[in-house]
Amino acid sequence: MVAYTYFEDFVVGAAFETPAVTVTAADIIEFATKFDPQPMHTDPAAAESITGGLIASGWHTASLTMKLLITGRQYTPAPGTLGLGFDKLRWLKPVRPGDTLRLRLTVLATRESTSKPGWGIITNRFVTVNQHDEPVQEMESSAIVPKRVG
Amino acid sequence: MVAYTYFEDFVVGAAFETPAVTVTAADIIEFATKFDPQPMHTDPAAAESITGGLIASGWHTASLTMKLLITGRQYTPAPGTLGLGFDKLRWLKPVRPGDTLRLRLTVLATRESTSKPGWGIITNRFVTVNQHDEPVQEMESSAIVPKRVG
């Protein structure tokens, strides 16, 4: 398995997919009660008429996507790696109880840092897919990553 | 207090600030253990040498920002309001235990929907600030919102 650690490991077009995580109704309600208390996320009965049943907060899906990245073994960031932010975050389909999510990461672009010698900027596309291989969320990240030394 | 509910309530340049939420070390560790298990977010001792102490996962800050929006009383979305996504998400400063966060929302742009009569698209700027009034996160949202009827 290729490890994505240093700048040189991120080659445009390279891609990997993580193992899966399953989302339960209890997970959806617990997250939303804390962070996104709206009835379609917290109240199964009310959600029936709003969204045809409980759906996960988009921020829950985003947080689970981070979990998939960090707990998957492909991505093992070098010390100092720093996420710069995310763009084009879109929620494409509802995530419902019992759904099983995986992250599919593709390297979109890389360039050497002009301000920080020995470092580079990478841009990755994150697509979170469900058990039917349907994208439920997409976004693009950029991060500054050290080059391999020696 | 102005309520932001229907399309007409979102006037370019209008702005509000929510009440605050305080983040504890326990909150930071609990969120990160579930969603972003990296030592600067989960292990106070290890975080000392990495980031000068524990810092919150960026996704924790984003989720707390949603909590501020939903639990603040200014934003009371009309039925059917649907978030389309977020752009330009940037984490600007670390969030540390004891920090107190507020959301400052400004309406950036509005337009009538061309495909859905009676609805409009709004773009808002979200800036999350700490107790020193320093921005810790910024992003832009877009949402489709119904017009007021009658």
Tens of pLDDT, residue by residue, chain A (150 residues): 678 999 999 999 999 999 999 999 999 999 999 999 999 999 999 999 989 999 999 999 999 999 999 999 899 999 888 888 999 999 999 999 999 999 999 999 999 999 999 999 999 999 999 999 999 999 999 999 999 985
The mean pLDDT of B106-127, rounded to a whole number, is 96
Task: Give CA separation, B40 vs A74, A124, B28, B57, B95, in Å.
Answer: 20, 22, 10, 9, 11
**How many angstroms separate the CA atoms of A140 and A84, rounded?**
11
- In terms of residue numbers, what domain contains B140? 7-23+57-146
Mutate to test the interface with A, among B18, B59, B76 (most CBs of A within 10 A): B59
Q: What pLDDT score does A82 carry?
A: 86
Place B1 in a pLDDT band, splitting at 50, 70 and 90. low
Task: Show the tokens assigned to B74.
Answer: 């200014």
Is residue B50's pLDDT more than 60? yes
Q: Do A35 and B67 touch (CB under 8 A)?
A: yes
> Which residues of chain B does A88 touch, with a Cβ-Cβ cutoff of 8 Å?
85, 87
Kindly state whether residue B42 falls inside one of the protein's structural domains.
no
**Residue B26 CB neighbour total at 10 angstroms:** 9
Report how many domains make up chain A: 1
Q: Do A89 and B87 touch (CB under 8 A)?
A: yes
**Residue A60 CB neighbour total at 10 angstroms:** 25
Residues 109-128 of chain A with CB under 8 A from chain B are none
Is residue B7's pLDDT more than 70? yes
Q: What pLDDT score does B36 carry?
A: 96
Q: Provide the residue type at B129 as one letter.
A: V
Task: Give CA separation, A44 vs A9, A15, A38, A57, B104, in Å.
Answer: 44, 37, 11, 13, 31
> In 3-state terms, what secondary structure has residue A137?
strand
Label residue B56 left, alpha or beta by phi (over 0 means left) and psi (-120 to 50 means alpha): beta
Select the more confidently predicted residue: B118 or B83.
B118
- The CATH number linked to A128 is 3.10.129.10
Q: Do B63 and A66 touch (CB under 8 A)?
A: no
CB of B85 within 8 Å of a chain A CB? The answer is yes
* Residues B46 and B39 sit within 8 Å (Cβ to Cβ): yes
Mean pLDDT of chain B: 95
Kindly state whether residue B90 falls inside one of the protein's structural domains.
yes
**How many angstroms separate the CA atoms of A7 and A115, rounded?**
15
Phi, psi of A51 (to 5 degrees): -135, 20
Task: Give CA separation, B106 vs B16, B103, B126, B132, in Å.
Answer: 7, 10, 7, 19
> Which residues of chain A does B30 touch, with a Cβ-Cβ cutoff of 8 Å?
none
Kindly state whether residue A45 falls inside one of the protein's structural domains.
no
Task: Give CA separation, A57 vs A27, A62, A134, B74, B98, in Å.
Answer: 10, 9, 17, 20, 26
Kindly state whether residue B49 falls inside one of the protein's structural domains.
no
Contacts of A93 (CB under 8 A, 6+ apart): A130, A134, A135, A136
**How many angstroms separate the CA atoms of B79 and B81, rounded?**
6
Q: HEC profile for B92-104?
A: CCCCCCCCEEEEE
Kindly state whether residue A29 falls inside one of the protein's structural domains.
no
**The whole model's pTM is what?**
0.95
Q: What pLDDT score does A2 carry?
A: 72
Kindly state whether residue A62 falls inside one of the protein's structural domains.
yes
Kindly state whether residue A46 falls inside one of the protein's structural domains.
no
* Residues B136 and B94 sit within 8 Å (Cβ to Cβ): yes
